[in-house]
C-alpha cells in the first residue's frame, strides 16, 4: 500500500505544474474528492512551492529531500 499519493524529489516538485501535481493526488486518492480536500491540496502545493524554493539550486541544497503528500482525514 502506498503511503503517499504523490512523491518525488523537491527539485522535480518545484518544476511541476500545479495541475499535474493535483492530478496525481486525485488519481491516487481512494476517497471521494470533496471540494474542501481539493482546495486544501491546491493551497498546500502553493505554500510548499514558495517555502521549498530555497532548496532549488542554492544554499541550503539537500538533494535527498523528498516530498510526500497524502489525504487529510477532515
Domain ranges for the chain: 6-55+65-69
Q: How far apart are CA 52 and CA 36, in angstroms?
A: 24
Alpha helices in 1-74 (DSSP H): 10-15, 18-28, 35-52
Positions in the chain whose pLDDT score sits under 70: 1-2, 56-74
Q: Nine-digit cell at 39? A: 482546495
- This prediction has a pTM of 0.75
Q: What pLDDT is recorded for position 8?
A: 84
With beta carbons less than 8 A apart as the criterion, state whether 26 and 38 touch: yes
Cis peptide leading into 60, omega within 30 of 0?
yes
Amino acid at each position: 500500500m502506498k503511503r503517499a499519493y504523490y512523491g518525488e524529489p523537491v527539485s522535480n516538485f518545484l518544476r511541476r505544474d500545479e495541475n499535474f501535481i493535483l492530478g496525481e493526488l486525485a488519481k491516487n486518492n481512494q476517497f471521494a474528492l470533496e471540494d474542501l480536500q481539493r482546495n486544501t491540496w491546491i493551497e498546500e502545493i502553493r505554500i510548499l512551492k514558495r517555502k521549498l524554493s530555497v532548496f532549488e539550486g542554492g544554499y541550503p541544497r539537500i538533494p535527498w529531500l523528498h516530498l510526500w503528500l497524502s489525504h487529510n482525514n477532515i
